[in-house]
Amino acid sequence: MGIKIGMVSLGCAKNRVDAEVMLGVLAREGFELESDPRQADAIIVNTCGFIEDAKQESIDAILEMADYKRENLKALIVTGCLSKRYIDELPEEMPEVDAFLGIGETEKIAKVVRDCMSGARVVDAAADYRYLEGVERVLTTPGYTAYVKIADGCNNRCAFCAIPYIRGNYVSRPMENIEDEVRALAAKGAKEIVLIAQDTTYYGKDLYHAPKLAQLLERVAAIEGVHWVRALYCYPELIDGELLRVMKENPKVCPYLDIPLQHINDKVLKEMNRRGDSALIRALYQRIRDLGGFALRTTMIAGFPGETEEQFEELMAFIKECPFDRLGVFPFSEEEGTPAAARQDQVPPRVRKARAGAIMRAQKAISRAFNRSRVGSVCEVLIEGREESGLYYGRSQWEAPETDGKVYVKLADGLEIGSFVRVRIVDAQDYDVTGVLE
């Protein structure tokens, strides 16, 4: 009987892909994958180190998995961003962990597991990140949807973000490698391909000396078996006419723009070290709305150091004047080593939280209004499951996996999970909509 491996992956979809590649390496090496941690011989916790809440979640998960050492567990291995960021501190603080790896040790994972099973302790986070090409990933998403990482790292150097210090500079994968991976995923039944990177609109600038996301979307959409392709994390200053054209005109490319704006006040944006200003953001918003047919998502930060009440009110006014279909907000998190964390004019945590709450209360009404505007329209829906009540649910091109609401389908029976159906929207809730088969 082979060694049974459990995996806990935390944080973003990019981290999930890293975990799936690791699982692919382990499966190739003859390890058995085990979903029940009580039955696993070794467990890998792939951590997130993005913001304070995510770091705490990672630490809690490590300690929870360590409890299984009283039962069957023989090796506990920690990988990912938290491990990379705190490689000098964690091994001493967590003696119950048998190995700490960073973000560039994927190829070694099988050897590390075997070494730990034999009693060794491994601490190794020296390697830079490199996507391991040619590995048959073990998907942790439903088989009909797969994330594809098109690049890693980031060149933006936003004042609040630690990702460049953890992941390094932006590195695009060659377009042909991405196409090969998508073909393999589509051959196994993946119908929705979600392209991800820290900044997808930057894709290709390092390899091809110009942004190439629009061309990549078209090439992925042309692959047999792909029904939808969507791109997440599109930064405003690199959204151009060609990208909008492809999203608008190619029937397989979802007209869904996920644009992390963070703020609208010019002084705050400058202090955040964001490249776009208020005028650029407003002009882009109007251009997209004039085209019509797009779903728009954004994220904001409440309580950035020095944010005044007037600047926050400007942000609130913008959210109401230029409403987004979907919006998420983070209270500012002081990430050590970043310029924003070193500032002396920190907004009190309770004020950050209150401002974030005010934004989400405003967004709730905006989301409800957008959903009501969809009543009477017809959309294609990817069926993802069925509730105990018998109601099916899924997503349209306007809903990204894991982050957005659902489309519920009533008065239907016999629908296949992973199939596409046409649905007429008949009712709207705050974040979800309900429809019937067309």
User: Which CATH number do you get for residue 306?
Assistant: 3.80.30.20
> Is 181's pLDDT higher than 80?
yes
What does the pLDDT look like over 79-98, one tens digit per residue? 999 999 999 999 999 999 99
What is residue 1's predicted lDDT score, i.e. its pLDDT?
59
Mean pLDDT of 30-38: 92
Instruction: Return the structure tokens found at 3.
Output: 């060694």
Pairing type for strands 4-9 and 42-47 reads parallel
Q: Say if residue 226 is in the same domain as residue 338.
A: yes
Give the pLDDT confidence score for residue 69 in this predicted structure: 87
What is the amino acid identity at position 42? A
Provide the domain count of the chain: 3
- 226 and 344 part of one domain: yes
328 in the same domain as 294: yes
Stretch 404-409: mean pLDDT: 97
pLDDT at 336: 87
**pLDDT value at residue 375:** 98
Flag whether 138 is in a domain.
no
Question: How far is the C-alpha of 372 from the C-alpha of 374, rounded, in Å?
Answer: 5
pLDDT one-digit tens code per residue, 295-351:
999 999 999 999 999 999 999 999 999 999 999 999 999 998 899 999 999 999 999
Phi, psi (degrees; rounded to nearest 5) at 33: -90, 130
- Write out the two tokens for 70: 């009283």
The answer on 393 and 289 residing in a single domain is no
Contact 44, 109 (CB under 8 A): yes
The verdict on residue 135 lying in a domain is: no
Residues 253, 229 contacting (CB under 8 angstroms): yes
Domain enclosing residue 330, as ranges: 145-373
- pLDDT tens per residue, range 357-393: 999 999 999 999 999 999 999 999 999 999 999 999 9
pLDDT digits (tens, 9 = 90+) for 232-261: 999 999 999 999 999 999 999 999 999 999
Place 143 in a pLDDT band, splitting at 50, 70 and 90.
very high
Alpha carbon dihedral 372, 297, 239, 397, in 10-degree steps, equals -60
- Specify if 131 maps to a domain: no
Residue 111: CATH number of its domain: 3.40.50.12160
402 part of a folded domain: yes
pLDDT at 227: 98
Return d(Cα 222, Cα 219) in angstroms, integer. 5
Which of 317, 343, 373 finishes a domain? 373
Q: Is the pLDDT of residue 50 over 80?
A: no
How far apart, in Å, do the first and last CA atoms of the chain sit?
Answer: 51
Looking at residue 41, its pLDDT comes to 94
Q: Are 56 and 23 in contact (CB under 8 A)?
A: no
**What is the CATH number for 429?**
2.40.50.140
- Spatial distance between the Cα atoms of 6 and 73, rounded to a whole number of angstroms: 10
Q: Which of 325, 355, 373 is the last residue of a domain?
A: 373
Taking residues 55-78, report their average pLDDT.
90
Residues 275 and 366 in one domain: yes
| Residues 262-275: tens digit of each pLDDT | 999 999 999 999 99
CA distances from 128 to 102, 124, 134 (A): 8, 11, 19
Q: Do 323 and 432 fall into the same domain?
A: no
Contacts of the segment 363-369: beta carbons below 8 A, 24+ positions apart: 363/319, 363/324, 363/327, 363/329, 364/430, 364/431, 366/319, 366/320, 366/323, 366/324, 366/327, 367/325, 367/326, 367/327, 367/405, 367/430, 367/431, 368/428, 368/429, 368/430, 369/323
Residue 354 lies in a domain: yes
Residue 206, burial from CB neighbour count under 10 angstroms (0-12, 13-18, 19+): middle
Same domain, 257 and 332: yes
Average pLDDT value for the chain: 95
Distance CA 201, CA 178 (A): 15
Q: What is the pLDDT of residue 70?
A: 83
Is residue 71 classed as helix, strand or coil in its secondary structure?
Answer: coil
Shared domain check, 207 and 329:
yes
Question: Among residues 327, 355, 373, which one ends one of the domains?
Answer: 373
Whether 168 and 110 map to the same domain: the answer is no
Helix axes 175-187, 213-221, angle to 10 degrees: 30
pTM recorded for the entire structure: 0.95
pLDDT (tens digit per residue) in 216-239:
999 999 999 999 999 999 999 999
DSSP 101: E
Answer yes or no: do 295 and 154 share one domain. yes
- 137 in any annotated domain: no
Same domain, 59 and 158: no
C-alpha closest to that of 437 among 381, 390, 398: 381
Of 431, 433, 407, 432, nearest to 421 by C-alpha is 407
132 lies in a domain? no
Facing residues of 7 across strands? 44
Kindly state whether residues 160 and 295 are assigned to the same domain: yes
Q: Examine residue 230 and state whether it is found in any structural domain, yes or no.
A: yes
